[in-house]
Structure 1
Amino acid sequence: MQELDSINRRILAELVANARIPMTELARRVGLSKTPVAQRIRQMEEIGLIQGYRAILSPLSLGLTHVTYVEARLSDTRQKALEQFNDAVRTIHEVEECYMIAGGFDYLLKVRSRDMAHFRQIMADRISGLPHVHATTSFVAMEAVVEQSWTEI
């Protein structure tokens, strides 16, 4: 990807702060007219720099105050087994993030739940039954010290 110029960086910063900003206001803030701003946005969407627009919900306001990180070790790590695990874990909406890890275990999952009882239910009913899961280790987060979305370009 080519280097972002200062105008594209300002457009992105404004969109990250408020994706619903009217085009006329966005154009005013970056010092261009609407048409060039719209063209720049469309170009950044086409190359995949801007992947979409969405409402960001507050997990805390939804009662999902309990965060647990789960290390998952698989019994089979051949490509087919990894694909089966990946497809299945994507269906568990309480899994907020999932990463394949190079190290002493295979996957790291960030799980949001209402409380410990809810987490235990998710583990018993969903995560432990994922394809090829051999063992799990859980780590309960006590406090979020840094938790943020990308806001800097």
Structure 2
Amino acid sequence: MPRHPHDEIDARILAELRANARISLAHLGERVLLSRNAVRQRIERMERDGTISGYTIKEAVSDNPKVSAVLLVQRRDRMRGSDVIAGLRAIPEVVLCDVVSGELDLVVRIEAPDAARIQRIWRQVSEFPGVTDITTALSLHTVIDRQVQP
């Protein structure tokens, strides 16, 4: 189980790493008033005790941003609608599919290179046997993204 920073210096190290994970140990040491070696030892200790449990790479915004949409899919038969899910699995632009309760059956997130591709996917999904209705919401702007990138 991850532990919290041991002291204020550990907290400052973590804050600096959150702001710039590529900061050099020497520069980090200057920022927290420790030697490079002392900073390295503290980071290694926080890795061992679970305070730092991993590192994530978040890619810079691409020159070719993706267009996102959510398809709200209703199926004729919820209990025997696995063929619809199998069809969605075969579409590489489908990045998320949740079976949900209530009026809807599936919430499907699509990330495609352009709106035309989303339209083609919509048409493809609407032709799946068992799909009775689709509501599409095209994303205009993402303001919160807490998904961990693989």
Structure 2 spans left out of the alignment, 5+ residues: none
Match of 2:118 in 1: 119
Q: SS state of the match for residue 42, structure 2?
A: helix
Kindly indicate whether the alpha-carbon contact (under 8 Å) linking 1:100 and 1:108 is maintained by their aligned counterparts in 2.
yes
Q: SS state of the match for residue 137, structure 2?
A: strand
Q: SS state of the match for residue 17, structure 2?
A: helix
Over the residues paired in the alignment, what is the CA RMSD in angstroms?
A: 4.1
- Sort the Cα spacing of 1:56 and 1:122 in 2 relative to 1 into closer, same or farther, 3 A: same
Kindly indicate whether the alpha-carbon contact (under 8 Å) linking 2:4 and 2:51 is maintained by their aligned counterparts in 1.
no
Q: Which fold has the larger relative contact order, with Cα–Cα distance below 8 Å and residues 6 or more apart in sequence?
A: 1
1:138 aligns with 2:136: yes
Match of 2:32 in 1: 30
Q: SS state of the match for residue 63, structure 1?
A: coil
Of 46, 49, 54, the residue aligned with 1:51 is 54
Kindly indicate whether the alpha-carbon contact (under 8 Å) linking 1:19 and 1:53 is maintained by their aligned counterparts in 2.
no
- TM-score using structure 1 length: 0.57
**Structure 2 Cα separation of the partners of residues 44 and 99 of structure 1:** 36
Percent identity for Structure 1 against Structure 2: 25
- TM-score using structure 2 length: 0.58
- Sort the Cα spacing of 1:24 and 1:137 in 2 relative to 1 into closer, same or farther, 3 A: same
Paired amino acid for 1:19: A
Kindly indicate whether the alpha-carbon contact (under 8 Å) linking 2:100 and 2:107 is maintained by their aligned counterparts in 1.
no
**Structure 2 Cα separation of the partners of residues 38 and 148 of structure 1:** 30
Q: SS state of the match for residue 13, structure 1?
A: helix
**Structure 1 Cα separation of the partners of residues 46 and 131 of structure 2:** 42
Q: How does 1:81-120 map to 2 (within 5 A)?
A: 92=92, 94-95=93-94, 98=96, 100=98, 103-104=101-102, 105=104, 108-120=107-119
